[in-house]
Copies of this chain bind each other. A is one copy, B any other.
């Protein structure tokens, strides 16, 4: 069993609205073991709507369409589908009553145009919509099924989950459900991840997708299975091989983000961190404090954008700035050491770089970022060059700094 997802609406084709509905419906169908074969978006025009349902019918035994069920005259879906199916539109009394009650509750008399929303194709199954006036509708035609849902996301989601999904279960259309495991990797480009693991055989019933995103690569292992335990058992050999091949680059699983991983290590140990930032200028502290409860392990930071602030608030030596420049591993180390002692943290990071678009030189091109790390026992530094615009360089520098901290913490762990 496969499905097609159709979205109807000029505002989607104009790029004014992002098609979140298609993503929602596709994800829900995937969980029901009904993979989506194609997503289509067409405008509010009869011939295009008909073309979409004809195409959907040729591709899969089930389709769900959203949009065009409102009360105004640019909402064509019901009329078009009825004509195409050669079925009359008939009044659905329970729906009319529901619409009248919704207006009555608001103390407003029902506009005449809303009566049209209680007209449904003859023989349709009607799904009550407690969140709005347009019902969901399911029509069956010679072994093919089409569900029509409103385009308002909350109504669409409710009607799919409470009307369409139970219908698909009742009819026995659901397949084996899909389960997944996501391994989150940092510090390797997608191609390097692929070189290390691309030749690994996939266990039967397990698929692998690479999801690269701005310095991270998520590896999604997924497949349908009778239950989660079976899927995990199937995926285990691959998960172990991947973890072995990527080593420390795998920082977490599922929805876990790197700042949570770092925070988890620090709070377990009862230790703290502080940060000194130049080019990232607060973004590193801001990301750390995305984690609720980070006050337990994050002391604070200094945004030292101007050189004299690096001297005054962090104690970076004027000689260091003069000899090596603000963007240097030497300065990064002194920033880390300075913020560590001033804020009384166990660990500290210093970040200084050239985010661009201006300020680059032949020796230090735009994208050059230096990182300092300070702990009770050591002060070290690293340097990286990121290719991209200002926002990208800053984002990558934040990620690199968090990963540097993570690596140092884990190294210390291993030494114990």
Contacts and interface: CB of A to CB of B under 8 A. Distances in A.
B387 A74 contact: no
Interface stretch (A81-89, A236-244, A293-301): A293-301
For chain A, which range describes its interface: under 10, 10 to 19, 20 to 34, or 35 or more residues?
35 or more
Per assembly, the copies of the chain total 2
Interface string A258-285: 0000000000000000010101111111
Interface stretch (A102-110, A139-147, A167-175, A316-324): A102-110
B300 A71 contact: no
Contacts of A275: 303
Given A300-B305, A387-B102, A14 B39 contact: no
B43 A15 contact: no
Interface in A43-86: 43, 48, 52, 55, 70-74
Contacts of A286: 280-283, 286, 394
Contacts of A385: 105-107
Given A74-B209, A111-B191, A300 B292 contact: no
Interface stretch (A16-24, A120-128, A371-379, A404-412): A16-24
A108 B309 CA distance: 35
Contacts of A108: 189, 192
Given A18-B18, A70-B212, A107-B385, 13 more contacts: A13-B37, A14-B36, A15-B36, A281-B288, A282-B286, A285-B303, A292-B356, A292-B390, A300-B303, A300-B309, A301-B303, A302-B313, A313-B313
7 contacts: A15-B26, A15-B27, A16-B23, A38-B52, A108-B192, A300-B303, A301-B305
